[in-house]
Structure 1
Amino acid sequence: MSLPDLVLVHGGAHAADCWDPTVAELRTQAPHLRVLSVDLPGRRGKRGDLGEATIADWVDSVVADIDRHRLGDIVIVGHSMAGVTIPGVVAKLGSSRVREMIFACAFVPPQGTAIVDTLGGPLGWFARRKAKTTRTTALPKSMARYAFCNGMTPEQREFTLSRLYTEAIAIVAERVDRSSLPPEVPRTWIMTTRDRALSTRSQRNSISALGGVQTLIEVDACHDVMISHPQLLAEKLIERCQARS
């Protein structure tokens, strides 16, 4: 059985290292599965100007990483803010190469709108305020702890809060265009039911904006499910890859 390669794309205020606990589980549970967790530009030494970032820049960066690692057919996962990035990646690679796209508690604004237009709660207030005054920002640890870490162990919270990165405000204010997204690529949604960053209602709105999904997986977890529930998430991702083998 030939499994597709698995690509993991992080969300806002994060980098590829947020996937480390889940990647470790993937290597244990499915050592034959090739996994690539990418860094978006402007963090952990990845070249890029956060102050001038665009969604297209991030799409090109992910596609370049996939090509550089010579991956074959893929299943691609986008967490949180990567909901605006992975549709562009899928559009560039095409349905012949992408077997499935997985949105993990992701921000998917309606076509032609921006994340900042639909984001609620403390993160929405913070993003709208910062969008008026700066091009990059660092999320305060107190807000990150509230939004990302509820229900985590102390060790998981420490892991999360020690891996926060400066983010590009322009991305949350940029209007999305999914007109080139191939409709035939299967879509899965991982819904985190204890999420403070993106409520289940907001996630369902994102699913509607996407045009629906074929598979819905509910997980009793906080927003950073890849840190709080790495074993369970790894199991679910392996199942999705096996379904597309």
Structure 2
Amino acid sequence: MALPGLALVHGGQHAADCWDRTVDEIHCQEPGLAVVALDLPGRRGKPGDLLDDVPRTWILTLRDRALSQASQRRSIAALGGVQTMLPFDTCHNLVISEPKLLASILLERCRRYA
């Protein structure tokens, strides 16, 4: 069964290109997977333009010195919640510091919905 496409959305101080290393790693692990990195911020405290039926996973970065866990949880609430929260003992810039780990996590999430 084909995997669903994967849409990646950056955080506040980044642009879509912050995902480049992770997208490269995803394509190494799953060459045929359609992946798009979007610039899709929320506006004025309103949720971003995410469809209600799109499954959402939040990776809670436990050693994040830029965004506290409380701040991350407020962001989750602003999105309208998530179906799954995955805590990881990593820093804020997981897309840069752990692209292989992040690619594995994202591919596993895709496989759940295939």
Q: TM-score, normalised by structure 2?
A: 0.81
* Alignment partner of 1:195 is 2:57: no
Quick one: structure 1 residues 181 and 33, their matched pair in 2 at CA, closer, same or farther if it must change by over 3 Å? closer
Shift of 1:9: 2.4
The answer to whether 1:176 aligns with 2:46 is: yes
Check if 1:224 corresponds to 2:112: no
Identity level (%): 55
Q: Secondary structure at the match of 1:12?
A: coil
**Distance between the aligned counterparts of 2:33 and 2:11, measured in 1?**
23
**Alpha-carbon distance change, 185 to 28 in structure 1, aligned in 2, over 3 angstroms:** closer
The superposition leaves residues 176-199 of structure 1 with CA deviations (integer Å, 9 ceiling, x where unpaired) of: 157x952x4432211011111211
Partners of 1:33 and 1:237 in 2: how far apart? 11
Consecutive unaligned residues of structure 2, counting only runs of 5 or more, are none
Residue aligning to 1:17: 17
**Partner of residue 214 from structure 1, selected from 83, 89, 92:** 83
In the TM superposition, what whole-angstrom CA distance separates every residue of 1:73-109 from its partner, at most 9, and x where no partner exists?
xxxxxxxxx4x2xxxxxxxxxxxxxxxxxxxxxxxxx
* Greater radius of gyration (CA): 1
Instruction: Report the RMSD for the aligned CA atoms in angstroms.
Output: 2.4
2:13 maps to 1:5: no
Instruction: Give the partner amino acid of 2:12.
Output: G
Relative to its length, the structure with more helix (as a share) is 1
Deviation at 1:209, TM superposition (A): 4.5
Change (3 A) 1:10 1:211: closer
Once residues 73 and 47 of structure 2 are traced to their aligned partners in structure 1, the CA distance between those partners, rounded to angstroms, is 19
**Bigger relative CO (Cα 8 Å, ≥ 6 apart):** 2
Give 5+ residue unaligned stretches, structure 1: 41-57, 59-81, 85-170
Distance apart, 1:20 and its partner CA: 1.6
After superposition, residues 1-245 of structure 1 pair within 5 angstroms as 1-38=1-38, 40=39, 82=41, 84=42, 174-176=44-46, 182=52, 184-245=53-114
Q: 1:27 to 1:186 in 2, by over 3 A?
A: closer
State how many pairs are aligned: 113
After superposition, the Cα gap between the structure-2 partners of 1:213 and 1:7, relative to the gap in structure 1 and judged at 3 Å, is closer
